[in-house]
Structure 1
Amino acid sequence: MWHEIAWTDMSEQHIARHNVTPADVHEVLQADPKLYRPGRDNTTLVFGTTNSGRHLLVVLAEALDGRDYVVTAREMTPGEKKNFKHKGT
């Protein structure tokens, strides 16, 4: 469901403030299970886990060239984590 990721210095710096790395994002996007939800302003919310078991929310927006741009990525809230564990596919 996701495309190639278009990384920018700004997006990498932003997720670093949440202690998330580009490798973490790729792990979530490749992991099973994961849960997709529509977000605000034509974004896609991707809930998933890293190989080390971190539960992350990744927010993607389609870039002009068709790749996906990482808006942000962070740890799931307790409510998001509960929902993910219940509905993750």
Structure 2
Amino acid sequence: MQSIEIVIIELLWDDWNIEHIARHDVVPDEVELSLTDEHAVFLKAKENRVMVLGRAGDRLISTVMNEQATKGQYYVITARDMSKKERAFYRAQKGKHDE
């Protein structure tokens, strides 16, 4: 997986994405908190999307979003608890920063 750096100025929320992440028992505040995690990992994903692996309290959240026409604005497509593979990758990356 290719790690990238991005600048997020604003996350775009609407009824659709709020309801969609709610089906995964995630709320917008958790997504926003996970993006500010000092160990958050930003990865290039398919279809010009960005996947973010980050911690929100005691949860490890995986968020997929895409950048809009206005630079720095991102639309959240989905968010859910990290898979086992994503948790292992996140912890390995976090360990690199803890050394």
Q: TM (normalized to structure 2)?
A: 0.83
Aligned-pair identity in percent equals 28
After superposition, the C-alpha distances for 1:23-54 in whole angstroms (9 at most, x for unaligned) are 00010011111101101110001000002x10
Corresponding residue number in structure 2 for 1:55: 60
Aligned partners of 2:76 and 2:65: how far apart in 1? 5
Deviation at 1:55, TM superposition (A): 0.5
- List 4+ stretches of structure 1 deviating above 3 A: none
C-alpha RMSD over aligned residues: 1.2
Matches within 5 A, 1:1-89: 1-51=7-57, 53-66=58-71, 67-88=73-94, 89=97
Counterpart contact for 1:6–1:63, Cα < 8 Å: no
Q: TM (normalized to structure 1)?
A: 0.92
Q: Runs of 5+ in structure 1 lacking a partner?
A: none
Deviation at 1:63, TM superposition (A): 1.9
Deviation at 1:64, TM superposition (A): 2.8
**Aligned residue pairs, count:** 88
